[in-house]
Amino acid sequence: MAVNPAGTPSGSVPPQARPSIGLAATDLPATGLPAQAPAAYHGPNWRERTGSQAEDLAEGWPWAPYAVHADHHRLTDVVLHCPDPALLTAAPPDRLQHLTTLDHGALAADIDRLQAGYEHLGITVHRLPQRRTALGGAAAPGRLGGANAMYARDLFWMGPEGAVLSRMASGVRAGEERQAAELLTGLGVPIARTVGGTGLFEGADALWLRPGLVAIGVGRRTNTEGALQIAEEARQLGADRLLLRVPEGVQHLLGVVQVVGEGLLAVRTGRLDPTDTAALRWLGFHLIEVPEWPEVVEGCAMNLVVVADRVVVLPDGSARTRALLARYGVECAAVLPVPELLKGAGGIGCATGILARAAR
Between the CA of residue 214 and those of 120, 129, 242, 309, 355, what are the distances in Å?
30, 29, 6, 17, 16
Q: What are phi and psi of 186, to 5 degrees?
A: -65, -30
Q: Which band of pLDDT confidence, cut at 50, 70 and 90, is reported for residue 7?
A: very low
Q: Which band of pLDDT confidence, cut at 50, 70 and 90, is reported for residue 145?
A: confident
- DSSP secondary structure letters along 278-321: HHHHHTT-EEEE----HHHHTT-TT--EEEETTEEEEETT-HHH
* Residue 325 domain boundaries: 54-358
If phi > 0 it is left, if psi is from -120 to 50 it is alpha, else beta; for residue 201 that is beta
Residue 1 to residue 77: CA distance in whole angstroms: 72
Q: Specify the higher pLDDT residue, 30 or 245.
A: 245
The mean per-residue pLDDT over the stretch 231-247 comes to 98
Q: Let me know if residue 307 belongs to a domain.
A: yes
What's the DSSP call for residue 69?
S
Per residue in 75-131, pLDDT tens? 999 999 999 999 999 999 999 999 999 999 999 999 999 999 999 999 999 999 987
Considering the chain, what percentage of its residues have pLDDT values greater than 90?
Answer: 82
CATH number of the structural domain spanning residue 232 = 3.75.10.10
- Nearest C-alpha neighbor of 266 from the set 247, 283, 285, 242: 285
The mean per-residue pLDDT over the stretch 161-178 comes to 96
Q: Let me know if residue 12 belongs to a domain.
A: no
Q: Let me know if residue 6 belongs to a domain.
A: no
Specify the amino acid at residue 194: T
Q: Let me know if residue 31 belongs to a domain.
A: no
**pLDDT score at 2:** 47
Between the CA of residue 27 and those of 13, 20, 23, 108, what are the distances in Å?
17, 10, 7, 70
Q: Let me know if residue 210 belongs to a domain.
A: yes
Q: Let me know if residue 238 belongs to a domain.
A: yes
Q: Is the pLDDT of residue 142 over 70?
A: no
Q: Is the pLDDT of residue 178 over 60?
A: yes
Residue 321 to residue 358: CA distance in whole angstroms: 26
Residue 162 to residue 233: CA distance in whole angstroms: 11
Residue 230 to residue 166: CA distance in whole angstroms: 10
**pLDDT score at 30:** 52
Q: How many domains does the chain have?
A: 1
Per residue in 301-336, pLDDT tens? 999 999 999 999 999 999 999 999 999 999 999 999
Q: Let me know if residue 19 belongs to a domain.
A: no
Per residue in 19-46, pLDDT tens? 554 545 455 555 555 668 999 999 999 9
Rounded to two decimals, the pTM is 0.87
The mean per-residue pLDDT over the stretch 66-79 comes to 98
Q: What are phi and psi of 141, to 5 degrees?
A: -55, 135
Identify whether the C-beta of residue 96 lies closer than 8 Å to the C-beta of residue 148.
Answer: yes
Q: What are phi and psi of 8, to 5 degrees?
A: -110, 155
Considering the chain, what percentage of its residues have pLDDT values greater than 70?
Answer: 87
